Structure 1
Amino acid sequence: MARAFIKKTNWEKGLGLALAGIWGASFLPQTLGLSRYQKTLANYLEDGTEQPMDAKVDELTQKVLYMINMDINLEMKLKTFMCYGTDPVSRGSVAVRTGAIVGLPHIFAYSEAADVQKQVFQIYNEYSYRGINWDTDAGKQFLDSMLLSDNAKMFGIAREIKYAQSHSVYIEAAMRSIGCAVAFTGYKFLSRTVLGAIPSAPVKLIGLAGVCGITYVLYISLLDYYNCWKDQRVDLNTCRLSMDIANGGVEFYEKMLQRNIAARVLLGKRGELQYTVYGNEHTTLRRPHQPLSHRLMMVKKVRDSLMDNPPPPVRFDSKADEDTTVGFGKVF
């Protein structure tokens, strides 16, 4: 049966369909599926409605957009919303017609400890959800980690906008399609050389599985390398916006590490499996992103270099342009 399958399958058409399917599966969720992403990532109020953008967070977003000086046509493709969790997120790309979304965590609306809605934070430990004991050292550290300065918030906003300016949607979809093409080409080459002298169809299927496995490992390695390179490039370009943003970047990653260290204690055994003692996420053979401690170290280096050669200060006057609105609001 396996032999009949191999003989009768039109590999050329199969390859075309596979490449189209892989491209679509990679490309569509971050283009036409952005609305579904937003519904999934959005923070919801008790009445079930999506939390509107906080006025202060929106003002910080306007300042960041002014510093980035994005083309107005690209800026209009960018949409912000309040997301759940403690970290900003982004999906899509302004390089694509469908644009991008940037989710800003609801903790960005906090200015002081009294603003923190402690009741919404629960941890899953020992097969049940329970509230955080805010009186413990770990609870106090976790609470403090959610209170960010405006500079740290602006770094987080700018970082995600920089991600949204990248062409990663195209690149990642292309890498998946190329990986499929390489696997197909490799198998065809083996079937005409080494495997061609072996009449056993199961052996050929094993050869196909081996080629696919090797290609997958190469693809994962390349994808992780690209993501780490992208993280480093985005952090570098974000810090170069201004000295305040660079200082905010140091605080942003310090607070992220502090939050993870506190979560490691609060989550018990699960936290020990998820985070290291330094606050980085545990990884095995892969490194899908740059470790937070590495990103903090790099941001500090950029900040120190900016001290010697500071960028020109950025003047932001919200009152000067309060009568002109488009896209996010103001046109600068």
Structure 2
Amino acid sequence: MAVRFLWKAATFVQRHRTAALATSCTGLLVAKLSHHIFPEQTCKLLHQFWTKGQSVELSERLQDLFHDVLKDAGVASALCYRAFLASGFHPVSAGISWLPSGSLVGIPANFSTAEDRQGIIDHVVMINDKEVDWESKEGHALKDALTFSLEAQKFAISREVMYLQSNSPIIKAAVAPIFLAGTFISAVAIKQHLGLYSSPLALRVVFNLIFAMIGFFCYHCASDSVSRSLDYRADRKAAAISKDYARGGVEFYDKILSRNRILRALMGKQGQRMYAPSGNLFPGSLFGLKHTPYTSRRDLIVNILNMSQELERSD
């Protein structure tokens, strides 16, 4: 029964290759962008900060901070960007600014001040089912790693804004359908060139599987490369706003690395599997890095600062 169904499906795809490819690529693109097309129903719902069973609104100070960043970044359509208070330890973002749903930036609770009573020291943080003791040596170190200066907060928010403003979500989402189409078209062209369409079905199946694996591997490599390029571009644009932003960027990534090293120690074996001794995240799979190394992102901004200082000296 299953073989018969697969045979019919293969026959249908063979007869309607163009329509099947267009539908598959469109569906894949929409699936990849769904997180950004509906940011309220996805990003905000997933990352919203809650306490005592209720969502917490963004404080007035953080609202002002967000608007200051939009102004410094020169965002023309500031009304298309909205902020909310997010859980976690650093900003998140989603959305496409020119769509009706706009863009959302989640500002973490640890960006709040102690006076807001939403800062990290006012909340329970559990690691390995144990509450972090903020008065312990590790607690003090973690508290310091989670407390950012105003410049670091501005950089962290601005790099999310720059990421969205550059249409990075669309570029990143387009990689998958492009490689799907490229793999499909290349496979068809090679089979026609080698005359495999007149060969036994088993040979064509083996060829398709091998070619699909090659395409899958190439997609992961390209996806990693594109993700890193987009992250670096957002960092460069945020650091280029001013020297204060650039210095804030160095502090931001330094503290992320410090936080990860502390978590690596506190979490034991699980932490050693998640975090490298440097503070970078270990690859999420054999085929991809998944996360752009924080050390390289920090070094990029350090180089920008050094180049700026050298130019000033030469002048």
Scaled to the shorter chain, the TM-score interval is 0.7 to 0.9
Equivalent in the alignment of 1:152: 152
Deviation at 1:295, TM superposition (A): 1.1
Specify the SS of the correspondent of 2:84.
strand
**Aligned in 2, Cα 1:179/1:305: closer, same or farther, shift over 3 Å?**
same
Deviation at 1:23, TM superposition (A): 1.9
Within 5 Å, which residues of 2 pair with 1:100-249? 100-111=103-114, 115-117=119-121, 119-123=123-127, 125=128, 129-192=129-192, 193-199=194-200, 201-249=201-249
Structure number with higher relative contact order (C-alpha < 8 Å, ≥ 6 residues apart): 1
Stretches of structure 1 that go unaligned for 5 or more consecutive residues are 311-332
Equivalent in the alignment of 1:82: 85
User: After superposition, what is the alpha-carbon deviation per residue over 1:45-71, rounded to whole angstroms, capped at 9, x for unaligned?
Assistant: 21x222111222222212211211211
**Aligned in 2, Cα 1:242/1:21: closer, same or farther, shift over 3 Å?**
same
Distance 1:45 1:14 in 2: 47
Deviation at 1:148, TM superposition (A): 1.1
**Aligned in 2, Cα 1:118/1:261: closer, same or farther, shift over 3 Å?**
farther
User: After superposition, what is the alpha-carbon deviation per residue over 1:101-147, rounded to whole angstroms, capped at 9, x for unaligned?
Assistant: 100100000359x9534542111x3xxx2212434433221111111
Distance 1:197 1:255 in 2: 61
Equivalent in the alignment of 1:40: 46
User: After superposition, what is the alpha-carbon deviation per residue over 1:136-161, rounded to whole angstroms, capped at 9, x for unaligned?
Assistant: 43322111111111111111111111
Distance 1:69 1:152 in 2: 18
Distance 2:109 2:100 in 1: 28
Specify the SS of the correspondent of 1:76.
helix
Matched, 1:16 2:22: yes
Does structure 2 retain, via aligned residues, the 8 Å contact 1:228–1:288?
no
C-alpha RMSD of matched pairs (Å): 2.2
Distance 1:90 1:83 in 2: 10
Deviation at 1:44, TM superposition (A): 0.9
**Aligned in 2, Cα 1:186/1:120: closer, same or farther, shift over 3 Å?**
same
Does structure 2 retain, via aligned residues, the 8 Å contact 1:139–1:266?
no
Distance 1:34 1:222 in 2: 29
Give the aligned residue type for 2:111: F
Equivalent in the alignment of 2:56: 51
Does structure 2 retain, via aligned residues, the 8 Å contact 1:250–1:299?
yes
The alignment of Structure 1 onto Structure 2 pairs a total of residues equal to 301
Q: TM-score, normalised by structure 1?
A: 0.83
Give the aligned residue type for 1:120: V
Deviation at 1:287, TM superposition (A): 2.5
User: After superposition, what is the alpha-carbon deviation per residue over 1:300-332, rounded to whole angstroms, capped at 9, x for unaligned?
Assistant: 12122333457xxxxxxxxxxxxxxxxxxxxxx
What percentage of residue pairs aligned between the two structures are identical? 24
Matched, 1:6 2:6: no
Within 5 Å, which residues of 2 pair with 1:249-328? 249-283=249-283, 284-309=286-311
Equivalent in the alignment of 1:92: 95
**Aligned in 2, Cα 1:144/1:240: closer, same or farther, shift over 3 Å?**
same
Does structure 1 retain, via aligned residues, the 8 Å contact 2:109–2:120?
no
Which of the residues 15, 19, 28 maps onto 2:34? 28
**Aligned in 2, Cα 1:131/1:251: closer, same or farther, shift over 3 Å?**
same
Deviation at 1:187, TM superposition (A): 2.5
Give the aligned residue type for 2:292: Q
Specify the SS of the correspondent of 1:120.
coil
Q: TM-score, normalised by structure 2?
A: 0.88
Distance 1:89 1:61 in 2: 13
